[in-house]
Chains A and B, each alone.
Chain A
Amino acid sequence: MNPNPYSDDIAHIRSIMEKSSRFLSLSGWAGILPGIYALIGLTLGLFMMRDARSSPAFSSDYSLSNPLFVKIILLALAVLILSLLTSWIACMRKARQNQQSTWTPAIRNMLFYFSIPLVTGGIILIWVMSREYTGLIAPVMLSFYGLALIQASHFTIRSIFWLGLIEIALAVPAGISGFGIPALALGFGVAHIVYGALQLKNVPS
């Protein structure tokens, strides 16, 4: 088939549509580093719990009057904030390298639709914890985070969809007693690191 101007036109149209509706500068580091933070955070959390259990003042009370509970919540929030900041910096750096704008309708849409399930999950998590349904913490975190990724996948690299599906699938075993923390380690730690590494391999930045 000899190259004709019409197929060039179509290719041009496709590329503009893609560029203008999706944020494609998702950096692999935005997966790897938060994955590592999550694993470190979980390990620290386990150590804190072990230390607390061996002390005579241990209480398994899930209220803000229990210092262990407060410490673990603060640790989780620190991991979340650090992860969001790192991902943001990594993506913005990559966008600048690709000479793409760092504040486009695609990025705004991606963040907006990503945050809706995340905030919803956060609200439910507060209720779950205040009623001491601790066994539901891991499945709620994994499933709502998975939904957030699936929403975001409409506005960025499509393969994020599969990462979202994996997170939701992990919410199934996460509800079984004793499987919560391993599921969190797999979903937030290992899955992110593997996905990020694959991303780096596909598109060297």
Chain B
Amino acid sequence: MKDWIEALDKNFDNRIRLGIMAALVVNDAVDFNTFKELMDVTDGNLASHLKGLEASSYITVQKTFIGRKPLTRYKVTRQGRKAFETHLQALEKLIKNHG
């Protein structure tokens, strides 16, 4: 029991971060506005969580332009995918133990 709580990733102790990772593991790339639509979150809050995950090298940022409009797209890194999978396993074990 204790072990599984320790296995939970501190990077994912927040709903918005979990949401970001969930969207990224099933999509090649996700842009900023799509995250906003998915999760009902303010720009500043979302940006700070994206920065946090980027700092942990769990996601990468890609800045491009469509015409003159900037488009920021995010992708999950291999490290991020692995961390998210481990976190999910820990969550599942904890739920089982709670019964």
Contacts and interface: CB of A to CB of B under 8 A. Distances in A.
Interface of A: 1-2, 4, 6-7, 9-10, 12-14, 16-17, 19-21, 100-101, 104-105
Interface size class of B (residues with CB under 8 A): 20 to 34
Contacts, number: 59
A103 B94 CA distance: 37
Shortest 3 CB-CB distances between A and B: which pairs? Answer: A16-B22, A20-B23, A13-B22
Contact of B88 (A2, A13, A16, A21): A13
Interface in B70-99: 88, 91-92, 94-95, 98-99
Interface centre among A12, A13, A21, A101 (most CB of B within 10 A): A13
Interface of B: 15, 18-19, 21-23, 25-30, 33-34, 37-39, 88, 91-92, 94-95, 98-99
A16 B22 CA distance: 6
A13 B92 CA distance: 12
A177 B20 CA distance: 55
B95 A105 contact: no
